[in-house]
Amino acid sequence: MNICVIGPGYVGLVTAACFAEMGNEVICVSRDEQKVNKLKQGIIPIYEPGLEALVEKNLKDDRLRFTTSLEDGVKNSLFVFIAVATPPEEDGSADLAHVIEVAKRIGRCLDEYKIIVNKSTVPVGTAEKVRAAIQSELDNRGINLEFDVVSNPEFLKEGDAINDFMKPDRVVLGTDNIRSGELIKELYAPFAREREKLIVMDVRSAEMTKYAANAMLATKISFMNEMANICERVGADVAMVRKGIGSDHRIGYHFIYPGVGYGGSCFPKDVKALMATAKEAGYEAKIMTTVEEVNAAQKKILAQKIIDYFKDRGGLKGKTIAVWGLAFKPNTDDMREAPSIDIIGVLTGQGAKIKAHDPEAIKEAKRVFGNNPSIEYFDNHYDALKDADCMALITEWFVYRNPDFERISQQLKSSVVFDGRNQYNPAEMKRMGFEYVSIGR
């Protein structure tokens, strides 16, 4: 099938590469000529395991190509996926400017029946706005053409996006048209060979499903962080509590890891957007408000533990903190809303110096923090420890899970570890001579 994907960002690039891998002819469109030129060479702007190789393979096999011409993409495709950014407004609502602008551009070059697919994460009612924008351009041209606008939200985890796309739990489709539903079903058939995965519903319900899914996962994270904070105060171990409740199949173990809060491009933005959507509809989303408040506070808890530790040791001014992990989660270089930003901001604000390591996010961290003289970056995680007063683990990359603790102790001035992800065993850390501080234990 012929597919156009507008917006080769995280979602768009994964979508384009995976559709091409299944034998489709895919045209990926961007206004950014420099980005397009790099993509034509197989140079991708993000880190996602396996994505660069998939793009290179399908470029070589001529199933995937990149262009700045939206008209070229639309005219040569049946399916037109909109996968542009929807950044948050100041009030938390999603900014649809890019989506509507793309819709207008589609309307200016539409010449036959197409299925317009909203892949971007958008508020309820966006499909209607996209349809109106396209129809307005057709009216201006004096043309009467049939087209469908459907919702097909993405459920990709950063760090495992290709697997999520190729082997999805479900494919949600919002449409009120049988014809577009059957065509989308045919498009996704190669991804659902073992069982039927396409869930068809009305457009507004599909748009809501995306927000509801991310809001539920964010709620589980904030709930477990709340439990961790209570556990600390009553002398319980949140790791044991997690095992106790996770064994209940109604709860499960997924997304109930306590830590330093959630970040990334989805949960923070989508929780706020859902709150804004509810407010616009005349409803106060109290649970979502609390989820967001708990998460904002949780991002500062590890920094406060470090401040409290050094309070009677001369304070943080002049101290050096080795930080392991900068990205908001492992297997990505994404630092949007990353807890490390808040933690490092608090520590440097108290006069501390930071020696940081991350397997993939150093380049992005330099962009986020700018030329901050208080932050030094290292390519090797052990090198970041040398002469530091303590180590703080923020992101649970595999390379940090079973380190050489003797080497850590030798590199640090003092054997002090602040574990923001509860990766290590408290009893073992104590046995090895570490002062060990974690979350909820």
What type of residue is 304? Q
Strand order in the sheet with 171-174: 64-67, 25-29, 2-6, 79-82, 115-118, 148-151, 171-174, 198-201
CB atoms inside a 10 Å sphere around CB 128: 13
The amino acid at 172:
V
3-state secondary structure of 396: coil
| HSE-CB of 11 using CA atoms within 13 angstroms | 20
Residue where the block lists tokens 């985890």: 157
**Spatial contact of 117 and 83, defined as CB atoms under 8 Å apart:** no
- Tell me which residue of 381, 311, 387 sits closest to 351, measured CA to CA: 311
Whether residue 360 contacts residue 384, with contact meaning beta carbons closer than 8 Å, is answered with: no
Do 312 and 345 contact (CB within 8 A), yes or no? no
Positive or negative CA dihedral for 417, 423, 426, 430? negative
266 given a catalytic annotation: yes
Burial of 2 (0-12, 13-18, 19+ CB in 10 A): middle
Sequence-distant (≥ 6) Cβ neighbours of residue 104 within 8 angstroms: 133, 134, 136, 137
d(CA 292, CA 285): 11
Catalytic residue among 4, 18, 231, 266: 266
Q: Which of 365, 368, 423 is nearest to 399 (CA)?
A: 423
Strand-by-strand arrangement of the 390-393 sheet = 375-378, 353-357, 320-324, 390-393, 416-419, 435-437
Pair of tokens at residue 364: 């992005």
Q: How far is Cα 55 from Cα 16, in angstroms, rounded to an integer?
A: 9
Q: How far is CA 407 from the centre of its chain?
A: 33
The answer to whether residues 134 and 110 touch, using CB atoms and an 8 Å cutoff, is yes
Selection from 68, 154, 65 nearest residue 105 by Cα: 68
Instruction: List active site positions.
Output: 266
